[in-house]
Amino acid sequence: MDDLVKAMGMSGVSKSQVSRLCAELDERVGAFLNRQIEGDWLYLWIDATYVKTREAGRIVSVAVIVAVGVNTGGQREVLGIKVGASEAEPFWTEFLRSLNRRGLRGVKLVISDSHEGIKAAAAKTLKATWQRCRVHFMRNVLAYANKTQRRMVSAAIGTVFVQETPQAARMQWHSVADQFREKLPKLSAMMDAAEHDVLAFMGFPRAHWPQIYSTNPLERLNAEIKRRTNVVGIFPNDASITRLVGAMMLEQNDEWSLNRRYMQLEGLQTLSDTVPTRLSAVAR
């Protein structure tokens, strides 16, 4: 901090000043991360990225998980973050339970990558459908094709997602899986196992499909987290990670609150169990 202030042409900053600034920031971030969640949040995206920190004299990677939701008003917000040692099921379960304790309700669809810990925790804590990120699925399934086959496989599977109805999509899914069954049996088997989870988004209003079939709404956030944390390199502890990432998410929430609604209202209120209520962004 002292080097940064001097680089800006000022005289410097004392350790006590840094401590005071950090305490003030921790208070704001804490209020943001522990605020009461009001209303129904129909769609929930959850994902993780990794940063490095010091622990008992060692440098280790820890997961930074982020949850973003969309409410019945079509507005999106960062609902929570958590820093932890791994993405194991207990870690995710505690995170989702902490959201429930703060008032999270009404979740109809959880969108994430195919991480067993996330899937198990969501099934345990939320009465919601699970959507396997379509983008991550395509990366996984293409691993079973060689380089010369990947474009053809991608195009064939892509025909599933341009179908007009869920029924037509499932018929096309079966057709494509059968097409590869002889030459690429592992790929076909993966399609058989993943059908329900990859096509889950089609059971929701069509107007929402572009946003709910993948974790893309979180990709930009994760990229920004990586960009900012890479500048730091190695964090001294988990609290310092929460301070930086929490401040970033607070800033992002403020930005989103000024933008037009993220999702069309068409179909949102029909999914809600209760009368919709808008959650104001953050305690300032």
Contacts of 79 (CB under 8 A, 6+ apart): 37, 41, 44, 67, 68, 69, 99, 104
Does domain 37-133+232-271 sit in CATH 3.30.390? no
Q: Report the DSSP beta bridge partners of residue 41.
A: 71
Q: What is the pTM of this model?
A: 0.87
Write the pLDDT tens digit of every residue in 112-163.
998 888 889 999 999 899 999 999 999 999 999 999 999 999 999 999 999 9
pLDDT at 6 over 60: no
Residue 64, φ and ψ in degrees, nearest 5: -115, 110
pLDDT at 98 over 90: yes
Tokens of residue 245, six digits: 């990432």
The confidence score (pLDDT) of residue 283 equals 44
H/E element holding 65?
A: strand 58-71
Q: Which of 7-16, 59-68, 156-165, 242-251 has the lowest mean pLDDT?
A: 7-16
Q: Which amino acid is at 208?
A: H
Distance CA 151, CA 190 (A): 18
